[in-house]
């Protein structure tokens, strides 16, 4: 590109240059006798047009007892060293399994040299052994700073990794064991101790102590398996059970206790945990009969599911019958893309078993609204979302693109995804066109409006959303 400047001014303003590019300039003088020779070229780089995007894929590249190094991928905007993009790195001590919930006051910057400021690796030094940290990175240029990246978790090694024996035993398992009672036994399962790079668990002890006292009933696993059955218990007695882990240095402390009462004599054992997804069908739940029916045939099973919508600790019975499988129906309390616990128990003429250990159930995403994000919003805002939907529909009636308008307003007022909001938009237009008299001119909560809406609009709404009608407060 050539620029012509006035003869009286030994300067020139260059316009129309591309942002974030290296520009090379040469100058020549022109007289009546013709042009002169080019000057020695000079180069400069134009400023970026915007602040950089978030750096991607932060990960731990080096990990020692006293330090770590984290790398990341440069953001697509302003991603080369030549554009003078620099990086701010912060670290926080945080001994949890992930980096959610780090207090804002816990973050502090990792010191950098001039050379490191533009590099895509940063070393954190002076850390504590066997300690959890979270690290995050942001990019900045002359236009500003990007948001912080998703933090990456670092757990420094123990000093044993440097050749110094730690002599350490495992911590107690994270929680009390889960107990499933039989008439003369207690089946236990438990979590491992908190992760510790210095400890290799070799086996576990489990013990159950009667409420009446006496010698504890013990179980020692042959390896690091985290389940087992304590036997030789008495029927209809309350027991307190705990577990502890071993490594090469010996046993660690006992976990907290779980209390459970054994069943009457002759009661069946609990079935194993039910499973979902048999035969590639995510809605099919299956289970096996109990290994010991207590001497009486099983007459029925009861399957229950945790009611996530109603709250923690609430269960809903899904099935009662003799079959060892059950197909979830669309009207059941189970919603797409949400995780649920499943338990089953066996019933005979002599009694019923304890509930089985929990199995897991998570259905696939369905429709535009059947996902964790939108379902959670429906749940958390169930008392207010109806009014916000009505306001969005009424505020978009005259808009040339009412469906998109409704989706946008709902996104702004509730946080629902734009995709899910489109279902509401289509429903609003349907109600306006098919039920104008009953719903727009009449009482939108009245029986006439509800009846018209259910007849003409609700089926398409439910198909679009991928959710049952009981989720929608206005349906």
Task: Output DSSP code: residue 11.
Answer: -
Q: What integer pLDDT is reported at residue 373 of this predicted model?
A: 94
Tally of structural domains, the chain? 5
Q: Domain range for residue 116?
A: 56-162
| Residue 415 resides in a domain | yes
Average pLDDT over every residue of 275-304:
92
Q: What integer pLDDT is reported at residue 1 of this predicted model?
A: 61
Q: Grade residue 115 by pLDDT with cuts at 50, 70 and 90.
A: low
Considering the domain architecture, whether residues 248 and 291 belong to the same structural domain is answered as: no
Q: What integer pLDDT is reported at residue 81 of this predicted model?
A: 43
Considering the domain architecture, whether residues 285 and 353 belong to the same structural domain is answered as: yes
Q: Grade residue 197 by pLDDT with cuts at 50, 70 and 90.
A: low
Judging by beta carbons within 10 Å of its beta carbon (0-12, 13-18, 19+), is residue 383 exposed, middle or buried? Answer: exposed
pLDDT at residue 162 is higher than 90: no
Q: What integer pLDDT is reported at residue 467 of this predicted model?
A: 92
What is the C-alpha to C-alpha distance for residues 326 and 284, in angstroms, rounded to an integer?
6
Q: What integer pLDDT is reported at residue 383 of this predicted model?
A: 85
Considering the domain architecture, whether residues 154 and 186 belong to the same structural domain is answered as: no
| Residue 51 resides in a domain | no
Query: Of 193-207, 221-235, 421-435, which has the strongest mean pLDDT?
Result: 221-235
Considering the domain architecture, whether residues 246 and 298 belong to the same structural domain is answered as: no
Chain centroid to Cα 117, Å, comes to 32
| Residue 171 resides in a domain | no
Considering the domain architecture, whether residues 221 and 200 belong to the same structural domain is answered as: yes
- Which range, of 128-137, 159-168, 370-379, averages the lowest pLDDT? 159-168
pLDDT at residue 164 is higher than 70: no
Considering the domain architecture, whether residues 156 and 195 belong to the same structural domain is answered as: no
Considering the domain architecture, whether residues 64 and 152 belong to the same structural domain is answered as: yes
Share of the chain above pLDDT 90, in %: 44
Query: Of 69-83, 147-161, 216-230, which has the strongest mean pLDDT?
Result: 216-230
| Residue 266 resides in a domain | no
* 325 strand-pairing partners: 286
What is the C-alpha to C-alpha distance for residues 223 and 299, in angstroms, rounded to an integer?
37
Mean pLDDT of the chain: 86
Q: What integer pLDDT is reported at residue 84 of this predicted model?
A: 63
Considering the domain architecture, whether residues 358 and 376 belong to the same structural domain is answered as: no
Q: Give the length of the chain.
A: 475
Whichever domain contains 328, its CATH number is: 2.60.40.10
Average pLDDT over every residue of 227-237:
93
pLDDT at residue 100 is higher than 90: no
Q: What angle do CA 346, 347, 350 make, to 5 degrees?
A: 130
What is the C-alpha to C-alpha distance for residues 304 and 332, in angstroms, rounded to an integer?
11
Task: Give this prediction's pTM.
Answer: 0.57
What is the C-alpha to C-alpha distance for residues 65 and 166, in angstroms, rounded to an integer?
12
What tens digit of pLDDT does each residue of 335-348 get?
A: 999 999 999 999 99
What is the C-alpha to C-alpha distance for residues 378 and 381, in angstroms, rounded to an integer?
5
Evaluate whether 121 touches 61 at the Cβ level (below 8 Å): yes
What is the C-alpha to C-alpha distance for residues 157 and 70, in angstroms, rounded to an integer?
15
| Residue 270 resides in a domain | no
| Residue 367 resides in a domain | no
Residue after which a domain boundary falls, among 302, 329, 362: 362
Average pLDDT over every residue of 228-238:
94
Average pLDDT over every residue of 187-194:
90
pLDDT at residue 163 is higher than 50: no
Average pLDDT over every residue of 287-296:
91
Average pLDDT over every residue of 89-100:
86
pLDDT at residue 167 is higher than 90: no
pLDDT at residue 429 is higher than 60: yes
Considering the domain architecture, whether residues 157 and 186 belong to the same structural domain is answered as: no
Question: 458: which residues sit within 8 A by CB, 6+ positions away?
Answer: 427, 469, 475
Residue after which a domain boundary falls, among 330, 362, 394: 362
| Residue 394 resides in a domain | yes
Query: Of 27-31, 156-160, 399-403, which has the strongest mean pLDDT?
Result: 399-403
| Residue 167 resides in a domain | no
Count CA atoms closer than 13 A to 381's CA, side-chain side. 19
Considering the domain architecture, whether residues 426 and 346 belong to the same structural domain is answered as: no
Q: What angle do CA 355, 359, 363 make, to 5 degrees?
A: 135
Share of the chain above pLDDT 70, in %: 91
Average pLDDT over every residue of 356-360:
93
Considering the domain architecture, whether residues 60 and 42 belong to the same structural domain is answered as: no
Beta strands in 14-151 (DSSP E): 22-25, 30-31, 34-35, 42-45, 56-63, 67-73, 86-93, 108-109, 121-125, 132-141, 144-145
Q: What integer pLDDT is reported at residue 63 of this predicted model?
A: 85
Q: Grade residue 80 by pLDDT with cuts at 50, 70 and 90.
A: very low
Q: What integer pLDDT is reported at residue 79 of this predicted model?
A: 42
Query: Of 92-106, 257-271, 326-340, 385-399, which has the strongest mean pLDDT?
Result: 257-271
Question: 165: which residues sit within 8 A by CB, 6+ positions away?
Answer: none
Alpha helical stretches, state H, 300-371: none
**For residue 448, which phi and psi values (nearest 5 degrees)?**
-65, -45
Residue after which a domain boundary falls, among 335, 362, 389: 362
Considering the domain architecture, whether residues 139 and 74 belong to the same structural domain is answered as: yes
């Amino acid at each position: 590109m050539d620029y012509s400047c006035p003869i009286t001014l030994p300067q020139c303003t260059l316009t129309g240059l591309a942002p974030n590019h290296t520009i090379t300039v040469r100058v020549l003088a022109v007289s009546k006798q013709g042009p002169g020779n080019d000057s020695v070229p000079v180069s400069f780089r134009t400023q970026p047009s915007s602040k950089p995007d978030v750096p991607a894929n932060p990960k731990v590249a080096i990990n020692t007892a006293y330090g770590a190094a984290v790398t990341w991928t440069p953001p697509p905007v302003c991603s080369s060293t030549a554009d003078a993009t620099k990086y701010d790195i912060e670290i926080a001590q945080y001994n949890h399994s992930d980096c959610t919930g780090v207090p804002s006051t816990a973050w502090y910057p990792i010191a950098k040299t001039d050379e490191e400021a533009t590099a895509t690796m940063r070393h954190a030094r002076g850390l504590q052994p066997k300690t959890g940290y979270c690290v995050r990175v942001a990019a900045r240029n002359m236009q500003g700073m990007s948001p912080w990246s998703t933090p990456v978790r670092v757990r420094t090694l123990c000093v044993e990794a440097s050749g110094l024996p730690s002599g350490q035993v495992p911590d107690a398992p994270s929680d009390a064991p889960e107990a499933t009672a039989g008439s003369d036994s207690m089946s236990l399962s438990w979590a491992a101790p908190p992760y510790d790079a210095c400890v290799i668990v070799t086996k576990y002890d489990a013990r159950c102590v009667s409420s009446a006292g006496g010698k504890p009933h013990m179980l020692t696993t042959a390896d690091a398996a985290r389940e087992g059955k304590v036997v030789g218990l008495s029927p209809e007695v309350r027991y307190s059970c705990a577990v502890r882990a071993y490594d090469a240095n010996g046993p660690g402390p006992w976990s907290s206790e779980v209390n459970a009462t054994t069943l009457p004599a002759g009661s069946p054992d609990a079935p194993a945990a039910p499973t979902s997804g048999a035969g590639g069908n995510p809605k099919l739940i299956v289970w096996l009969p109990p290994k010991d029916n207590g001497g009486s045939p099983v007459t029925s099973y009861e399957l229950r599911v945790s009611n996530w919508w109603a709250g923690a600790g609430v269960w809903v019975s899904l099935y009662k019958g003799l079959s060892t499988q059950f197909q979830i129906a669309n009207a059941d309390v189970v919603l797409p893309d949400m995780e649920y616990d499943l338990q089953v128990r066996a019933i005979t003429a002599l009694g019923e078993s304890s509930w089985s250990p929990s199995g897991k159930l998570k259905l696939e995403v369905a429709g535009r609204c059947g996902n964790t994000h939108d379902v959670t919003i429906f749940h958390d805002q169930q008392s207010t979302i109806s009014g916000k939907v009505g306001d969005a529909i009424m505020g978009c009636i005259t808009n040339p693109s009412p469906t998109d308008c409704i989706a946008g307003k709902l996104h702004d007022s509730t946080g629902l995804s734009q995709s899910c909001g489109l279902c509401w938009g289509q429903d609003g237009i349907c109600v306006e066109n098919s039920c104008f008299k009953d719903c727009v001119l009449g009482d939108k909560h009245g029986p006439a409006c509800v009846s018209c809406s259910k007849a003409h609009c609700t089926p398409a709404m439910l198909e679009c959303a991928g959710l049952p009608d009981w989720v929608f407060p206005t349906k």
